[in-house]
Chain A
Amino acid sequence: NAGVTQTPKFQVLKTGQSMTLQCAQDMNHEYMSWYRQDPGMGLRLIHYSVGAGITDQGEVPNGYNVSRSTTEDFPLRLLSAAPSQTSVYFCASSYSVGYNEQFFGPGTRLTVL
């Protein structure tokens, strides 16, 4: 199993550009989530999904969209990048929500100029 994979590993955007961060897992996990990690602030939940076709907002959803058309994939879209979205983004998955630890992808380091 590859576990949780994320692409790209690094990305530089200009303000106003859009892009999609890819996340995939091959463990047949129902729960998937996106976090951003900023210095001194831990990880903050952006969006999450409890299964294909079901998504919901987390703590900091503004400026981001998600969709979950398959169990395996959970892409994160930045609609119009802003410097405040400069961060490290982690995708995570777990077998189900509630009683299982999350497995994290390697992260995407995003810089918005």
Chain B
Amino acid sequence: ELKVEQNPLFLSMQEGKNYTIYCNYSTTSDRLYWYRQDPGKSLESLFVLLSNGAVKQEGRLMASLDTKARLSTLHITAAVHDLSATYFCAVQATGNQFYFGTGTSLTVIP
């Protein structure tokens, strides 16, 4: 069974600061996804990373994938309040199954 670990689980940061969320997984995969979930809402796709070294950026968020280290990062630059949400990484195992991390709850403080 594939294990996906995110850290930190909770993150409180000031507006304007930078931070990184880490996603480690336990088995070989080159397909990793990042999602955002606002409280009481559904999940929204942020990034699709499909190869070693893939880097995607959208606004203040940048995601990268290192398949050899089995690690993906979600970097937040100059955080703003609107980024407050829970962020999930999801790994696609061999076959058609997806495994999600437990999520990182981000709170951006003015």
A residues adjacent to B (C-beta < 8 A): 31, 33, 35, 40-45, 48, 50, 56, 58-59, 90, 92, 97-107
B: residues with CB less than 8 A from A are 1, 4, 31, 33, 35, 41-45, 48, 50, 88, 90, 92, 96-103
A40 & B102 in contact (Cβ 8 Å cutoff): yes
The complex places the Cα of A106 from the Cα of B41 at a distance, in Å, of: 7
Question: Taking chain B's interface residues, is the majority helix, strand, or loop, or is none over half, making it mixed?
Answer: strand
Q: Are B99 and A59 within 8 A (Cβ)? A: yes
Query: A98 vs B31: C-alpha distance in the bound complex, in angstroms?
Result: 7
Does the CB pair A97–B96 fall under 8 Å? yes
A101 to B92, CA, bound (A): 11
Chain B residues near A104 (CB-CB < 8 A): 35, 42-44
- Taking CB atoms, residues of chain B closer than 8 Å to A97 are 92, 96
The answer to whether B31 touches A99, judged by C-beta atoms less than 8 angstroms apart, is yes
Contact A102 B45 (CB under 8 A): yes
| A31 with B96, Cβ < 8 A, contacts A41-B102, A98-B31, A99-B31 known | yes
